Structure 1
Amino acid sequence: MSFASRPGGAAGSPAGAPGAASTSVLVVEDEPAIATAVARRLSAEGWQVETVGDGLQAVEAAARLAPDVVVLDVMLPGIDGLEVCRRIQAERPVPVLMLTARDDETDMLIGLGVGADDYMTKPFSMRELVARVKALLRRQQRAALAAERTAGAPESEPPVQVGDVVIDRAQRRVHRAGEEVHLTPTEFDLLLALAASPRTVLTRERLLAEVWDWVDASGTRTVDSHVKALRRKLGADLIRTVHGVGYALEPAGGAAGA
């Protein structure tokens, strides 16, 4: 099933920009009523929307369409959403918003671990769904513009070092104690935001705005889950929790600096 873009896209908007007529969204959902409702709502934003109902079709559609963002249900026939996300990201990194019927933190961490950028628990608000897709598209556009700038002058983006963690902004690579750590795009952006102010406590709301471009505090649990995912990869000692406030990056194994 596919839904053609409707009028209303911003004229002259770059590909991938929220509201651009050329923006494409792949919706992977096996419940026809939900798939239809989501596709119609996203099409109303002026985006090209295609829907598929099982995991194998999703992998094929992602390769064929090269969508700007994927809205992906976890529970699917064929192969589940986690495996779909893993396969899609292995072929071509793309922002993924996962939909889950289970409000289980372990499932969320697994989803983030295979490359999802955000998640929503069913039932969800269509208004919030659209807002989160727009936020993913804005992040994607900012990352593309940043890559263009650094490609022409990589020397202008010196690595950031916080203790024994070295963050190469130009190549988007991270090393700790000399060993490379593979992060998802969202994990990298979150680490970079924390590293910009080491030892300074950043609120969940601030991180949500800076990293996800999402200004509603309802998404703060997304921040918590991504921090836990970072700790699993970089070590539990690196990020300090200030209960009721937020998080701070604590240098270890050396001094902070750029």
Structure 2
Amino acid sequence: MKPITILIADDETEIAELIAMHLEKEGYHTIIAADGSAAIQAVQSQPVDLAILDVMMPKLDGLEVTRQIREKYRMPIIFLSAKASDLDKITGLVIGADDYMTKPFNPMELVARVKAQLRRFIVLNPSPADSPSMLQIRGLTIDPEKRTVTIYDQTIDLTPKEFDILHLLAGHPNKVFSAENIFMQIWGESYYDSGNTVMVHIRTLRKKLGEDPKKFIKTVWGVGYTFND
């Protein structure tokens, strides 16, 4: 069985090598890229199972690298950045990152988050034999195997987190999920005042779903969100 390959993109060589050392102790294969352009080349030239990206990098920053990766690939992405504001974190998550850690950081915590993201990715991306069936609701089609969403045959471009939220809600119609519950199930970690993160993802998801998105996702004030069947 081939080892899991993790891309580490950071222009600070010491940090990249420190991360690589800790991941390799856990049996992972690592690739180091010193800038955003090299990170894109690494992803395009070989299979990468997870990417750890610095936000501020030469040539292409982590946000642009994520945008380009998300055009073709679904692997988990973890941002590692000195930018620690809530707005920076929400921006990174909305663009397509799966997790966001701030510098300085604990390498063992990063390893734990890598393991959590890989575990989650495997669970949410089953083999074809185990794949759940397609969901079809009032012109909306959700294909969990291909991870695609269409409305009346028009493809809707969703980030991985937006897809996961929609699939979670649509898979349990009329069940109300709190922001805390959504965050814990989709992000796979403890809730830490991340209601804004969930709210931003719901807002952008509704916008992408079209003219009358609330016909699909309804807000239950003071409780959470539900999907109308």
- Is the TM value for this pair above 0.5? yes
Rate the CA distance shift 1:206–1:25 in 2: closer, same or farther, 3 A. same
Match of 2:176 among 201, 206, 228: 201
1:103 CA displacement: 3.4
Matches within 5 A, 1:1-258: 22-150=3-131, 157-161=133-137, 165-176=140-151, 179-214=154-189, 216-218=190-192, 220=194, 222-234=197-209, 237=214, 238-240=217-219, 242-243=221-222, 247-251=224-228, 256=229
Give the aligned residue type for 1:218.
Y
Rate the CA distance shift 1:206–1:57 in 2: closer, same or farther, 3 A. same
CA contact (8 A) 1:108 1:225 kept: no
Rate the CA distance shift 1:36–1:79 in 2: closer, same or farther, 3 A. same
Rate the CA distance shift 1:171–1:24 in 2: closer, same or farther, 3 A. closer
Rate the CA distance shift 1:242–1:135 in 2: closer, same or farther, 3 A. farther
Q: Distance in 1 between matches of 2:88 and 2:172?
A: 31
Give the aligned residue type for 2:143.
D
CA contact (8 A) 1:105 1:225 kept: no
> Structure 2, unaligned stretches of length 5 or more?
none
- CA deviations over 1:66-118 (Å, ceiling 9, x no partner): 21100011110111111212223334332211223223455445434543222
- CA deviations over 1:128-180 (Å, ceiling 9, x no partner): 32222112211222244243434xxxxx714242x664423344322346643
Rate the CA distance shift 1:131–1:94 in 2: closer, same or farther, 3 A. same
The corresponding residue for 1:8 is none
CA contact (8 A) 2:70 2:159 kept: no
Rate the CA distance shift 1:88–1:166 in 2: closer, same or farther, 3 A. closer
Rate the CA distance shift 1:225–1:66 in 2: closer, same or farther, 3 A. farther
Rate the CA distance shift 1:194–1:170 in 2: closer, same or farther, 3 A. same
Rate the CA distance shift 1:40–1:203 in 2: closer, same or farther, 3 A. farther
Aligned residues: 224
Q: Distance in 2 between matches of 1:127 and 1:223?
A: 26
Higher mean C-alpha deviation, range 141-150 or range 49-58: 141-150
Q: Distance in 2 between matches of 1:25 and 1:140?
A: 14
Q: Distance in 2 between matches of 1:205 and 1:62?
A: 33
Higher mean C-alpha deviation, range 26-35 or range 100-109: 100-109
RMSD: 3.0
Q: With the length of structure 1 as denominator, give the TM-score of the two structures.
A: 0.72
SS at match of 1:77: coil
Q: Distance in 2 between matches of 1:178 and 1:26?
A: 35
CA contact (8 A) 2:51 2:77 kept: yes
CA contact (8 A) 1:135 1:212 kept: no
CA contact (8 A) 2:98 2:161 kept: yes
Percent pairwise identity: 35
